[in-house]
Structure 1
Amino acid sequence: MGRLVKTGHSVAEQVRRGEVALVYCLYGEDEYRREQALNQLLDALLTESERDLNLDQIRPGEAGTQSILGSARTLPFLGPRRVVLVRGVDELSKAQQEELLAYLNDPSPTSCLVLAGRSLDLRTRLAAAIQKKGMVLHFDHMKADSLKEALVAAAKERGVRLQPDAISLLIDLVGDDLRQLIYAVEKLALFGGEGVEILPQHIEAMVGETRVRTIFQLTDTVSGRDLDGALRSLTSLLDAGEEPLKILGMLARQIRLLFQAKALREQGTPVSRMTIGRLPPRVVATLAEQGASRSWGQLTGALQSISRADMAIKSGRSAAPMVLSGLVWSLCRT
Structure 2
Amino acid sequence: MDPKKALKNIQAGKPEPVYLCYGPEKYRRRAFIQALSDSLIEPEQREFAVSKFDLSETSLDSVLEDAETLPFMVPRKLIIASNALFFTGAKERTKIEQPIDKLLDYLKSPVDYTVIVFTVDADKLDERKKIVKLLKDRDAALPFLSLNPEELQTWVYKQAQNLGFSFSNEALEQIILYTGGDLQALSAEIEKISLYVGESGVASCEVVDQLVARSTEQNVFILIEDIVQLRLERAFVILEDLFMQREEPIKILMLIARQFRIIWQVKELVRQGYSHAQIASQIGLHPFAVKIAEGQAKKYDNAKLGQIIAQLADLDFQMKSGRIDKVLGLELFLLKLAA
TM-score, structure 2 normalization:
0.61
What's the offset of the Cα at 1:69?
A: 1.2
Q: For residue 171 of structure 2, give the secondary structure of its aligned residue in structure 1.
A: helix
For residues 249 and 154 of structure 2, the distance between their equivalents in structure 1, rounded to whole angstroms, comes to: 39
Q: For residue 186 of structure 2, give the secondary structure of its aligned residue in structure 1.
A: helix
Are the aligned partners of 1:22 and 1:134 in contact in 2 as well (CA < 8 Å)? no
* 1:138 has 2:133 as partner: no
* 1:107 has 2:102 as partner: no
Equivalent position of 2:304 in the other structure: 295
Equivalent position of 2:205 in the other structure: 200
Q: Taking structure 1 as reference, are residues 298 and 117 closer, same or farther at Cα in structure 2, changes over 3 Å only?
A: farther
Are the aligned partners of 1:24 and 1:136 in contact in 2 as well (CA < 8 Å)? yes
Q: For residue 142 of structure 2, give the secondary structure of its aligned residue in structure 1.
A: strand
Where does structure 1 lack aligned partners over 5 or more consecutive residues? Answer: 221-227, 235-246, 261-286, 302-334
Equivalent position of 1:263 in the other structure: none
Are the aligned partners of 2:56 and 2:84 in contact in 1 as well (CA < 8 Å)? no
Task: Look up the equivalent residue of 1:34 and give its one-letter code.
Answer: R
The count of residues paired between Structure 1 and Structure 2 equals: 250
Equivalent position of 2:121 in the other structure: 118
For residues 259 and 73 of structure 1, the distance between their equivalents in structure 2, rounded to whole angstroms, comes to: 49
Specify which of 89, 97, 100 is matched with residue 97 of structure 1.
Answer: 100
Q: For residue 98 of structure 2, give the secondary structure of its aligned residue in structure 1.
A: helix
What's the offset of the Cα at 1:188?
A: 2.2
Specify which of 40, 45, 66 is matched with residue 45 of structure 1.
Answer: 40
Identity percentage of aligned residues: 20
Are the aligned partners of 1:158 and 1:189 in contact in 2 as well (CA < 8 Å)? yes
Q: For residue 95 of structure 1, give the secondary structure of its aligned residue in structure 2.
A: coil
Task: Look up the equivalent residue of 1:140 and give its one-letter code.
Answer: L
For residues 211 and 27 of structure 1, the distance between their equivalents in structure 2, rounded to whole angstroms, comes to: 29
What's the offset of the Cα at 1:53?
A: 2.3
RMSD of equivalent CA atoms: 3.9
For residues 51 and 208 of structure 1, the distance between their equivalents in structure 2, rounded to whole angstroms, comes to: 34
1:167-225 deviation line (CA, Å, top 9, x unaligned): 122223332222222222223223333332112232233338877873269979xxxxx
For residues 306 and 150 of structure 2, the distance between their equivalents in structure 1, rounded to whole angstroms, comes to: 33
* 1:59 has 2:66 as partner: no
Where does structure 2 lack aligned partners over 5 or more consecutive residues? Answer: 228-247, 268-295, 311-339
Q: Taking structure 1 as reference, are residues 294 and 215 closer, same or farther at Cα in structure 2, changes over 3 Å only?
A: farther
Equivalent position of 1:279 in the other structure: none
Are the aligned partners of 1:10 and 1:40 in contact in 2 as well (CA < 8 Å)? no
Q: For residues 147-296 of structure 1, what are the structure 2 equivalents within 5 Å? A: 147-207=152-212, 214-215=219-220, 229-231=249-251, 251-252=258-259, 255-256=262-263, 295-296=304-305
Are the aligned partners of 2:264 and 2:305 in contact in 1 as well (CA < 8 Å)? no
Q: For residues 23-38 of structure 1, what are the structure 2 equivalents within 5 Å? A: 23-38=18-33
Are the aligned partners of 1:22 and 1:133 in contact in 2 as well (CA < 8 Å)? no
For residues 167 and 25 of structure 2, the distance between their equivalents in structure 1, rounded to whole angstroms, comes to: 22
Q: For residue 141 of structure 1, give the secondary structure of its aligned residue in structure 2.
A: coil
Q: Taking structure 1 as reference, are residues 259 and 298 closer, same or farther at Cα in structure 2, changes over 3 Å only?
A: farther
For residues 64 and 183 of structure 1, the distance between their equivalents in structure 2, rounded to whole angstroms, comes to: 35
1:220-251 deviation line (CA, Å, top 9, x unaligned): 9xxxxxxx7324888xxxxxxxxxxxx89x94
Are the aligned partners of 1:148 and 1:167 in contact in 2 as well (CA < 8 Å)? yes
1:250-284 deviation line (CA, Å, top 9, x unaligned): 94488439988xxxxxxxxxxxxxxxxxxxxxxxx
For residues 78 and 40 of structure 2, the distance between their equivalents in structure 1, rounded to whole angstroms, comes to: 8
The 10-residue stretch of structure 1 (251-260 or 176-185) with the greater mean CA deviation from structure 2: 251-260
